[in-house]
Structure 1
Amino acid sequence: MKSFKRWAPNDQLVSIWRSTRLGEFYYQFVIQDFWLEVAPDGNGDRHIAKNL
């Protein structure tokens, strides 16, 4: 939750998913029109994708 507040402090959280992509673990935070992929420690690159 701390990493979500860091990357999207003003967005309302819809759901949280745990993901492994290419052998790496990420949290996926779903907000209204997008989802964020954040490493468990909250550091590193974040990945943003538009919901379909």
Structure 2
Amino acid sequence: MDQALLWQQIEDHGERQPLLTLGEARAVVALLRREGSPAADELAARLAQRLPAEE
């Protein structure tokens, strides 16, 4: 892929897809909690605050 096409795709603000689904985000939080390091715990807490409550 040439540079011009790459930048065109990066700068195109058309239809975008979410980075993660809710299920994937919850799985990431669960994996981070299992890690047990202070950095992983802090990141898990920050992500969990942004997720909607489970029904």
TM-score range, shorter chain: under 0.3
Structure having the larger proportion of residues in helix: 2
After TM superposition, the score normalised by the length of structure 1 is 0.22
After TM superposition, the score normalised by the length of structure 2 is 0.22
If you compute each CA radius of gyration, which structure gives the higher value, 1 or 2?
2
Structure having the larger proportion of residues in strand: 1
